[in-house]
Structure 1
Amino acid sequence: MTKLLCPSMMCADFSNLKKATQELDQAGIDIFHMDFMDGRFVPNFGMGLQDFELVRSVTDKLVDVHLMIQEPSKYVEKFADLGADIIYIHPEADQQPARTLDMIRQKGKKAGIAINPGTSVEMIQGLLPLVDYVMVMTVNPGFAGQKYLEYTDPKIEKLVALSKEYKFEVMVDGAISPEKVEQLSKVGVTGFVLGTSALFGKTGTYKEILMKLRV
């Protein structure tokens, strides 16, 4: 099964983000993953619009935005117009998530939901016909370098089963190590957001690391 390998650009070298983006592009990544936070939905701030514009300007690969913000509908048009290919919202942060997902698709973009570790499948099942991607947070969102939460595994397995009916890709984000890529791809997970557990700050070139993860 094809694995979608998605570097979390929040973990990249910000002293030369352009060079990091170019190197990852040439190494063969699938989707650039970009986190945006408002300090309210999660207690942190992520990347800025200028960072997104820079990454978008130097790659033809897919770029996603993960909106960890309250009222994400207010920003859908902005990111769609800047060239995001996939836009993730948190249903927990939106009064009308179905309407927001429809707005994303109306802009010609792929719609995704990201769900926190404590959010059940039952809570979001009604949205599954409206999405192209479901990203399970395997840490509490907001900070890099946390420990993988094993209790999310049954939820991932449920969503993989549902993905066959509703035709969406299952993604995971949070402390995704090489071992987790191997384990979860066997379960049926398609996409992996890679940060400091598997990609950044590791020995070897990006290309070498990605080749090992694809095996």
Structure 2
Amino acid sequence: MRTPEDWKDGEKIIGACMNCASYENLSKTMGELDDAGIDLYHLDIMDGTFVPNIALGPQDVSAIRKLTDRVCDVHLMVRDAARYVDTFVRLGAQIVHVHGEEDSQVTRTLQHIRDIGAKSSLAISPCTSFETAKEALNVCDYVLVMRVNPGFAGQKALPFVDEKIKKLVEAKDYYGYKILVDGGVSAQSVADLWKAGVDGFCLGNAGLFGHKESYKQIVQSLRALPRD
């Protein structure tokens, strides 16, 4: 099984947002995504309370984990996320994204994720400033920057988030995290944000699913985008 340690410094991380995928034939979909060279399967867990939508759960994580040896993560858009960290790590999540907006002791939760053998990640909503998130960065392996308000696929990216991304890029060597972006991530977004210093991209409807090109063609074109 591959792990986040397999990703080299400076390598572009291409992720598939699985709440946008077709589940009619999940095995076929996963096979095509694996063959395309997807690095990360990004699994949005939503409870209908923290965000106004319900999506994916333990059974989905278990099913996807059985179909791939690539890295799987979970984005816990749920109330009291700390209660569910152990469950999803046992199911095979290798990176766990949690929100500080919901957790008053998020540094404790992030450290616990590390303690049980997974990679910790702070998910930052558009409403949360860099300054508000700054202290939690000390216990982050990753930062997941939401470019849309969490809860629904298909939203357009909010341009004001890019200023926060710039601050996070400037600070990432000091704190030692990698930056993933999620929400409205198109091919043009990948081109621009890769040049800006972002490490990885969670692709949904805007960048991967529902396009006339094959997954392999899309991933190959994204990998070819230059940083300079």
TM-score (norm 2): 0.93
| One-letter code aligned to 1:63 | C
Query: For the Cα contact (< 8 Å) 1:71–1:95, is it kept in 2?
Result: no
- Give the one of 139, 143, 154 matched to 1:145: 154
**Match in the other structure for 2:103:** 94
Cross-structure match for 1:12: 21
Match of 1:118 among 107, 127, 131: 127
Q: Distance in 1 between matches of 2:17 and 2:172?
A: 24
* Superposed displacement of residue 207, structure 1: 0.8
Which of residues 48, 56, 61 is equivalent to 1:52? 61
Distance 1:22 1:50 in 2: 19
**Helix, strand or coil: the match of 1:136?**
strand
Residue of structure 1 in register with 2:11 after alignment: 2
Q: Is the 8 A contact 1:89 1:113 kept in 2?
A: yes
The superposition leaves residues 46-94 of structure 1 with CA deviations (integer Å, 9 ceiling, x where unpaired) of 1121111111001111000000011111000101111110000001111
Residue 12 of structure 1 and its aligned partner are, at CA, apart by 0.4
Matched residue, 2:180: 171
Paired residue for 1:154, among 159, 163, 166?
Answer: 163
SS of 2:11's equivalent? coil
Equivalent-residue separation in structure 2 for 1:95 and 1:160 (angstroms): 25
Partner of residue 46, structure 2:
37
Aligned to 1:19, what secondary structure does the other structure show?
helix
- Kindly indicate whether the alpha-carbon contact (under 8 Å) linking 1:138 and 1:152 is maintained by their aligned counterparts in 2: yes
Q: Distance in 1 between matches of 2:57 and 2:46?
A: 9
- Letter of the aligned partner of 1:76 in structure 2? V
Give the paired residue count.
215
CA positional deviation for 1:95:
2.4
The equivalent of 2:87 in structure 1 is 78
Q: Which runs of 4+ in 1 moved over 6 A?
A: none
| 1:163 counterpart letter in structure 2 | K
- Structure 2 residues not aligned, in runs of 5+: 1-9
Query: Which string of whole-angstrom CA distances, capped at 9 and with x for unpartnered residues, describes residues 31-56 of structure 1?
Result: 10000011111000011211111110
Q: Decide which of 171, 174, 199 is 2:208's aligned counterpart.
A: 199
Does the Cα contact within 8 Å between 1:111 and 1:130 map onto a contact in 2?
yes
Verify the 8 A CA contact 1:18 1:54 in the aligned structure 2. no
**Matched residues in 2 for 1:11 and 1:185: separation?**
22
Aligned to 2:4: none
How far apart are the structure 1 equivalents of 2:82 and 2:125? 18
Q: Aligned Cα RMSD in Å?
A: 0.8
> Which residue, out of 69, 73, 92, partners 1:64?
73
Q: What is the distance in 2 between the residues matched to 1:115 and 1:172? A: 10
